[in-house]
Amino acid sequence: MKTPRTAGWLVCSLALALPACSDSSRPTASPAPTTSAQAAPTEVVNPHPAPAAKTGDEARALVDQWAAAQNEGKPEAYAALYAPKFEGVRRSGSRVWHLDRARWLKLREEAIQKKAEVKVSDVSVIPSLAGAVVTFTQQGAQGPTSDEGQKRLVLVRSEGKLLIAREELLRADKGKEAGTPGAAGQVTLAIRTPKPMLVLDTNPKDEWGDETPWLATRGDVVQAGRTVDASKLPPELASVRGKRFELFGKAGKVCEATVTSFGLLGQVKPNASFVTRWDGKDEASGEALGDVDVAKDAWDLSATRGEAGGRVLTGLLFASQGKCDEALWGRPLPEAPKGGEAEAGKEAAATDAKAAGDKAKAAGDKAKSAGDKAKAGEEAPKAETVVVEAKPADNTTRDKVLQDLRKLPAYAELQKEYEGLKAAGDPARWEEAQGSKQEVLVMELPSGVTLITATLSAGTGCGTFGGALSAVWESKGGKLTRVSEAFGEALPAVSAADVDGDGRFEIVFENGMLRSSGAHYEQWERLVVPALDSGC
């Protein structure tokens, strides 16, 4: 039975149990047999396909044409650059729009006719077997659709030329500054597929890994992994190996585990044209790719900049207590005293405990013992971390919070947009459109404060209306106070927890968390897998 390429990386995550595994986990090649006759030279042929050599230049030329068409007021030339199957993603403040080709071009037409001043800089191109991904900084767009920031174009090849299949202004989260992984109080997010891992760095260097990516998972999200040589890591990252972490799920602590080794993980939601090429169903190739080639293409595509989550350095785990399969986040456990310090601590603790026992009654021994250990240099038992699972609100709370959400200016803006798009027979309010969903969740904290998240969403976007609105509230003594801005996306909270011990509870989601800054929740820390498909 053949061992899949993934096995080396995954098996060596048990490095403490399998000391024979090395950081590289790469098989050792057998020596070639020797013969007396010299073999005839053979031509070396690379069996693995590569993007066309001209792809990078073509992609940059398209970006130049894209900017020129807008600056010169040529909507027809602009439209000619877009594929028939296209999705545009716009962001303005917290509002997010998903638009099909017709709505996108109609929205841009007015600004283009006014010769919008679009400036493009810092262009990077990732060639793919079926197209390319281009990321750049856009500045100076004019008109009602003005946007500035990091923009990503997904290009697909159609009839021999590149066309834009997806255009997206990337989100700019207001996040917390990252700390050193494994440092006291430093929290790391967890990834559960293909197996539980801790995220140690969201901007890893390519040279940390070996040369050959392998296919970890293939579905809506494709993951490619690479083995890491720990000697190439910065000291603060390499030192995480051997550290013990406690990991938490939606209802509390799920496991304790040790980081045994490292891996690089690339993640991407590929465009359908890229998948068609992988499966050999495109017009040109007619031959499906093997896992090695799919992994290489997916790894390259995961490098798109502007979002944390495409490529990450992970710490592979060996669980010593519990199961880590449902972990969402983790933090380091206190390190035990070493060598003579530990022995001296034990002797001092025993002496102090005996002296205390002569004076204290049995009922006070436990508290006294904790004080004695602190004097002896030992750490007192740490208070258990409280994790409050999110649950549906009762009807009274639900109605009160939704009523407050509907009063926000952002709600009125969505309603105005909806009325410009709705057809005869459609519901009166945007929140009642096709696919409507209401969700109000509560998390009752030990302090007596209740955290509440509420989301209204409806519509599918693209050629029709689509919108979402959410926010966070605190409730205490019957008083409801909104403690966040209005977000243009859903807030599917799973729990609340004081993850870093600062006395403030964070709101935890499947892919990250929302932290408070002062009295308001506004700092996002999340993993976003690059979305390259055109769903419209």
**pLDDT above 90: percentage of residues in the chain:** 64
Query: Of the ranges 113-122, 261-270, 396-405, 486-495, which one carries the lowest mean pLDDT score?
Result: 113-122
pLDDT reading at 45 higher than 70: no
For the chain, count helices (H), then strands (E): 11, 24
Same domain for 471 and 408: yes
Same domain for 232 and 311: yes
**Is the residue at 473 inside a domain?**
yes
Total domains in the fold of the chain = 3
Query: Of the ranges 164-168, 237-241, 279-283, 330-334, which one carries the lowest mean pLDDT score?
Result: 279-283
Same domain for 428 and 518: yes
Q: In 435-510, which ranges are E strands?
A: 437-444, 450-459, 466-476, 479-482, 495-497, 506-509
pLDDT reading at 511 higher than 60: yes
**Is the residue at 208 inside a domain?**
yes
In terms of average pLDDT, the best of 127-136, 339-348, 355-364 is 127-136
The contacts of residue 416 (CB under 8 Å, 6+ apart) are: none
Same domain for 144 and 195: no
208-to-183, 190, 332 alpha-carbon distances in Å: 21, 20, 23
**Is the residue at 448 inside a domain?**
yes
**Is the residue at 162 inside a domain?**
yes
Query: Which amino acid, one-letter code, is at 282?
Result: D
Model pLDDT, residue 326: 96
**Is the residue at 489 inside a domain?**
yes
Signed CA dihedral, 501, 502, 504, 508: sign only? negative
Q: Could you tell me which of 358, 357, 377 has the C-alpha nearest to residue 367? A: 357
Same domain for 455 and 326: no
Chain centre distance of CA 467: 22
Buried b (16+ CB within 10 A) or exposed e, 157-189: bbeeebbbbbbbbbbebeeeeeeebbeeeebbb
Same domain for 136 and 269: no
Question: pLDDT band for position 354 (50/70/90)?
Answer: very low
pLDDT reading at 32 higher than 50: no
Same domain for 251 and 159: no
Same domain for 282 and 156: no
Q: Which of 303, 332, 361 is the last residue of a domain?
A: 332
In terms of average pLDDT, the best of 28-42, 81-95, 194-208 is 194-208
Query: Whole-angstrom Cα distance, residue 443 to residue 450?
Result: 6
Residue with tokens 């490292």: 262
Query: Whole-angstrom Cα distance, residue 297 to residue 284?
Result: 17
- Could you tell me the strand order of the sheet in which 506-509 lies? 387-389, 495-497, 506-509, 512-517, 520-526
* CATH code of the domain containing 142: 3.10.450.50
Model pLDDT, residue 16: 37
pLDDT reading at 368 higher than 90: no
Model pLDDT, residue 523: 92
**Is the residue at 452 inside a domain?**
yes
Same domain for 159 and 283: no
User: Do the beta carbons of residue 495 and residue 233 sit within 8 Å?
Assistant: no
What is the residue range of 280's domain? 188-332
Q: Which of 105, 135, 170 is the last residue of a domain?
A: 170
**Is the residue at 440 inside a domain?**
yes
**Is the residue at 399 inside a domain?**
yes
Model pLDDT, residue 28: 40
Q: Which of 121, 141, 170 is the last residue of a domain?
A: 170
Instruction: Classify residue 239 as exposed, middle or buried by CB count within 10 Å of its CB (0-12, 13-18, 19+).
Output: middle
Model pLDDT, residue 357: 45
pLDDT reading at 351 higher than 90: no
Same domain for 156 and 93: yes
Same domain for 207 and 256: yes
Same domain for 510 and 408: yes
Query: Whole-angstrom Cα distance, residue 162 to residue 100?
Result: 18
